[in-house]
Structure 1
Amino acid sequence: MRDGILVVAKPRGLTSHDVIQKVRRFLGIKRIGHAGTLDPEATGVLPLCIGRATKIVEYIQDRPKTYVAEWTGGVATDTEDQSGNVVERINGLHLTWEEVTSAFTSFIGPYAQTPPMYSAVKVKGKRLYELARQGKEVERTPRLVTIYDLMILDGNLEQDPPRVRFQVRCSKGTYIRTLCVDIGKKLGIPAHMSDLIRVESGGYHLEEAHSLEEIEEAAASGKVEELISPLEEALSFLPSLTLSKKWADKVIHGAALPRGFSHMPWQTGEKIRLVSDEGRLMAVYQVVNGEEIWAKPEKILFTEDPVDRGYAR
């Protein structure tokens, strides 16, 4: 089985863990992880890391994500999305596109977002959604997130309640349902997110995602490897450095790279991918620019350990 990324088009009604369990059964392997959770009612891109690719989950999920969402004004729910119970409603709103556009675009850039109660964020060791199900609400610390781009696609402000469909590109950890609530607050009205599709995550787009039915069929016919994007491509957004065979053998064992190893103007703290002269992704290193050490290992992705190179079944 090839190590790499299997991009799934998550359907509505399944948790991200449900998707992993199904794919594990299709492929007959356990070593699978996802790179960024999607709520059960959300659909779209869910990258799954297969085999050694589970080691690079953090690099993929740290990248910006793009969503197409629907905002509904005048109605608030306890979960901030369409799956919750209505807790507030205002009928007969009269909104203009000028004020709606101004409210939406005001969130472009960094902003402090308070995680919703129905989320997996932990407070004093407890998941917020566990407390929410007990009817409890606790104080949450706002987190700084970034909205890189936000564009209104279409909508209807004349209907009751008014709805707006928009596309947003944002940083890791951004709750789009909370963004919808905050846009409502900007307009002085209750609001919630009534639909969510993730169209891009980790550099993978909805157009290249595969349905669970397609994956099951490919696995049954022995062609599932054709759906898996190679591990070597998964970190293509990081700068690369090609190693000689001598240094590739040392990197396998986690050797640091000495000062003067590269004469490129790498910045301290920068992450680079190390590739063998055969094109195999060996490791991710971080530049430290120390007196003796130029770069140190962060993730060793190829080793001589047969267990590491294989799959737990």
Structure 2
Amino acid sequence: MSTARPRRPVPPSGLIIVDKPAGWTSHDVVGKMRGIAGTRKVGHAGTLDPMATGVLVVGVEKATRLLGHLALTEKVYEATMRLGVSTNTDDAEGEVTAVTPADHVGEQDVRRGIEALTGEIMQVPPQVSAIKVNGERAYKRARAGEEVELAARPVTIYAFEVTGLRREGQAVDVDATITCSSGTYIRALARDLGGSLGVGGHLTRLRRTRVGPYALESARTLDDLAKECVILPMAEAVAAAFPRRDVTEEEARLVAHGGRLASAGLGPGPVGVFAPDGTLLALVEERGGAARPLAVFVS
């Protein structure tokens, strides 16, 4: 008599919108979701620091191939920044490096500082970040006591709105909602806002409320997902995130084998290609008059 355990069915390919809890790394969430979904093929788009909560887009099975493209979308955060206290990580998880009275800083001062940090800006990432310097993560070098030189990078702050301002002793807490491009460090904004006001600053709270079209309203906690693992089908996920192109049967056969299509003028970013029956075929990129596959999902 066979004692082999029955194999779990492979879950459908798609996205899971997780409301990440505080204290978990994004990798921790992926590990938990592997157990919940019953597959090793799980990844995430757009890392959240352990102290942050909110929307983390997780891909399952073939949808892991979407994640690198989803990470290039805009994001929305709710944040609290404390002015008057600096840390070595630019957030509340680091060690305090300086305390400067900020009780003279008023709302108009804060708004002027925010105005200078809105639009297309050059941002120096935090010393403690995952950016590689000579092949090694910056945070490893920083935690070893090394002063890390990180180059400024272009990011776009589409909106930076103050939603509250409170005085905490000689410090000032600023609540804000920020809409920004991928690659933006909100803790660097807190650092730079405080720096521009001469008092220093760091991030004390961060909640991501949207990644591209995926909002907090559709996110589920890990406890909820353990009870019911809701997976957004790939076709729906792609249709929500990218321009859609419906093709003929002949074009569908070409795309399914990695062939190129003529450009349809749908823009430089990824475009979702769908067969006549609505099946998702591929993501393509339009360049030089042709649409070339970035990822093909059928064969």
TM-score, L = length of structure 2: 0.92
Q: How far is the alpha carbon of 1:158 from its aligned partner? A: 6.3
- How many residues are aligned here? 288
| Distance (Å, rounded) in 2 between the aligned partners of 1:266 and 1:13 | 41
The alpha-carbon deviation at position 238 of structure 1 amounts to 2.4
CA apart distance, 1:281: 1.0
2:118 & 2:149 partners in 1: Cα distance?
A: 25
Q: Whole-Å Cα distance in 1 between the matches of residues 16 and 168 of structure 2?
A: 42
Q: Secondary structure at the match of 1:284?
A: strand
Name the counterpart of 1:85. Answer: 95
When residues 87 and 265 of structure 1 are mapped into structure 2, their CA distance, relative to the original with a 3 A threshold, is closer
Q: Which residue does 1:233 correspond to in 2?
A: 236
1:307 matched residue in structure 2: none
> Aligned to 1:255, which of 254, 259, 262?
259
Are residue 113 (structure 1) and residue 117 (structure 2) matched?
no
- Aligned AA for 1:296? R
In structure 2, the partner of 1:283 is 282
The AA in structure 1 aligned to 2:278 is G
Deviation at 1:189, TM superposition (A): 1.1
Q: Percent identity?
A: 35
CA distance in 1, matches of 2:102, 2:223: 43
Pairing partner for 1:13 from 23, 36, 55: 23
> Aligned-residue CA RMSD in angstroms?
1.6
Find the counterpart in structure 2 of residue 140 from structure 1. Answer: 150
Change (3 A) 1:270 1:138: closer
Q: Which residue of 2 aligns with 1:69?
A: 79
Matched with 2:295 is 299
Q: Find the counterpart in structure 1 of residue 273 from structure 2.
A: 274
8 Å Cα contact 2:85/2:100 also seen in 1? yes
The letter for the 2-side match of 1:107 is: L
Return the alpha-carbon distance in structure 2 between the equivalents of residues 210 and 129 of structure 1. 30
Partner residue, 1:188: 198
Cα distance between partner residues in 2 of 1:2 and 1:160 = 53
Deviation of 1:289 after TM superposition, in Å, equals: 4.0
Q: Distance in 1 between matches of 2:112 and 2:102?
A: 21
> What does residue 199 of structure 1 align with?
209
Q: CA deviation at 1:239?
A: 2.2
1:176 aligns with 2:176: no
Post-superposition Cα deviations, 1:139-164, rounded to whole Å, max 9, x if no partner, equal 11110111001100112136432101
Deviates more, 1:187-196 or 1:248-257: 248-257
Is 1:36–2:46 an aligned residue pair?
yes
- Could you say if the C-alpha distance between residues 272 and 163 of structure 1 is closer, same or farther in structure 2, counting changes exceeding 3 Å? same
Q: Which residue of 1 aligns with 2:8?
A: none
Separation in 2 of the partners of 1:158 and 1:34? 36
- Kept in 1: contact 2:69–2:270 (CA 8 A): no
The answer (yes or no) to whether the contact 1:33–1:54 under 8 Å persists in 2 is yes
Which residue identity is paired with 2:253? D
Consecutive unaligned residues in structure 2, runs of 5 or more: 1-10
Q: Please, which of 33, 36, 56 is the counterpart of residue 46 of structure 1? A: 56
